[in-house]
Amino acid sequence: MSTAEVSIAESATSSNARLYWRIALKTASGEPAPGVEFKITLVGDGSLAPQFDSKEVFRTTEDDGTANVTWYRRNIWGRGVKAALTVSSPENGQSLALEAMSEAPSEMVGPRTEWTPQRRRW
């Protein structure tokens, strides 16, 4: 199993309510790994869901081997927040990379018209 981790540290005066990451998953040969479900875990402040407290979510990679995740501050203001975001792939030999994005990816912009809960398959 491969893992990647990033630390989140927002000061008490920060106005960031969300942070975005693109996750890239590649096979052992370096090719994008589409259709792979993996787990994302948050330890510390914030949430991985906008409307409720969520410390674990699952994502499935797109055709290009990428998926996106958002960290939400969840109304924690007036104090600093610290957390760690960890991504784990289900198979050995795969490589993971986390890339911070300065704004929401285009597919996440605009009104949300539907929501389907992610089911855990492993």
- Give the pLDDT confidence score for residue 86 in this predicted structure: 94
Distance CA 75, CA 116 (A): 24
84 vs 105, residue with greater confidence = 84
- Give the pLDDT confidence score for residue 61 in this predicted structure: 93
- Give the pLDDT confidence score for residue 118 in this predicted structure: 54
Distance CA 6, CA 120 (A): 23
User: Hey, what domains does the chain have and what are their CATH numbers?
Assistant: 3-104 (2.60.40)
- Give the pLDDT confidence score for residue 115 in this predicted structure: 46
- Give the pLDDT confidence score for residue 64 in this predicted structure: 96
pLDDT in tens, 36-90: 998 999 999 999 998 889 999 999 999 999 999 999 998 888 999 999 999 988 7
Classify 71 as helix, strand or coil: strand
Distance CA 6, CA 47 (A): 15
Q: Residue 12 pLDDT more than 80?
A: yes
